[in-house]
Amino acid sequence: MFFLTPPCHISTLPKATARECPGLADIVAKVENRTTRKISRNSIFGLLCWEPQMFGNRVATVGGGCESGFAPEKEQHAMTFRILGLPAEEFTHPFDLSDFDLAAQGGVRRTVDGKYPCRVSLTDPQPGEEFLLINYEHHRVESPYRMRFAIFVREGDQTYDKVNEVPEQLRNRILAVRSFDTNAMMVDNRLVDGNELEPVLEKMLAPSNVDYMHIHFAGAGCYAAKVQRA
């Protein structure tokens, strides 16, 4: 069923339209002088031939006869994104170091007693698990935005790599999203609730000059994950 607002008076209808759509006068007479009226799908086509009407995303054609029907809907394709954790192979060696050698490289070994996000698997280790807190250069570029920061990694984890999926680790945190071009220069940046991340990623990936994005945990400012087009 459709809801139709009243058209103009029947006297204003072109004669050609009336010839193309027999029964149009009867339909108009039924809806005239009413605020809204339910009209069946079969009876509405005659009226649509006379005046364009919007029903959802479909628009009736003007003066095309009763067989014209509806114009086809325009498909809208959402931007697909790919979220990546850090490469697992880069963190095999640090776990083999002694505490002394690890400290010499600016790292420490810890046992989990809270929520410490692993940047490889993009999961939060469970209490009692061991992880490393190390300084890592996550943005190795020749631009002013070259950056390194403290990150947590857990031994044996596999790199997170999924399309159009947001890991739970990012959901319940406030995030800072930054987009970059091919010269590693920042294009845009946003603060976002992790539960509302998808539309922000799609919108920020849309400009043609954007090459990739980085997600950071807004509070501590540390690196979380990389995003690129799928």
pLDDT (tens place) for every residue of the chain, 230 residues total: 444 444 444 444 444 444 444 554 554 455 454 434 443 444 433 433 334 444 344 433 344 433 444 444 445 556 799 999 999 999 988 999 999 999 998 899 999 877 789 999 999 988 889 999 999 999 999 999 999 999 999 999 999 999 999 999 999 899 999 999 999 999 999 999 999 999 999 999 999 999 999 999 999 999 999 999 99
Residue-wise DSSP of 179-224: EE-TTS-EEEEEEEEGGGHHHHHHHHH-STT--EEEEEETTT--EE
Structure tokens at 111: 């046992």
The strand pair at 186-193 and 174-180 is best described as antiparallel
Q: Which of 126, 128, 148 is nearest to 137 (CA)?
A: 148
Say which residue the tokens 């220069």 belong to.
Answer: 185
Q: Which amino acid is at 201?
A: L
Please state, in angstroms and rounded to a whole number, the distance separating the CA atoms of residues 40 and 4.
10
Return the ∠ at Cα 169 (arms to 163 and 175), rounded to 5°.
90
Q: Which of 71, 24, 89 is nearest to 50 (CA)?
A: 24
User: Could you tell me the residue ranges of all domains in the chain?
Assistant: 2-68, 81-229
DSSP code of 66?
A: G
Please state, in angstroms and rounded to a whole number, the distance separating the CA atoms of residues 128 and 114.
9
Q: Which amino acid is at 74?
A: K
Please state, in angstroms and rounded to a whole number, the distance separating the CA atoms of residues 103 and 109.
9
Crossing angle (nearest 10°) for helices 41-50 and 24-31: 100
- Phi first, then psi, for residue 34 (nearest 5°) are -120, 150
- Phi first, then psi, for residue 107 (nearest 5°) are -115, 160
Q: What is the reported pTM?
A: 0.65
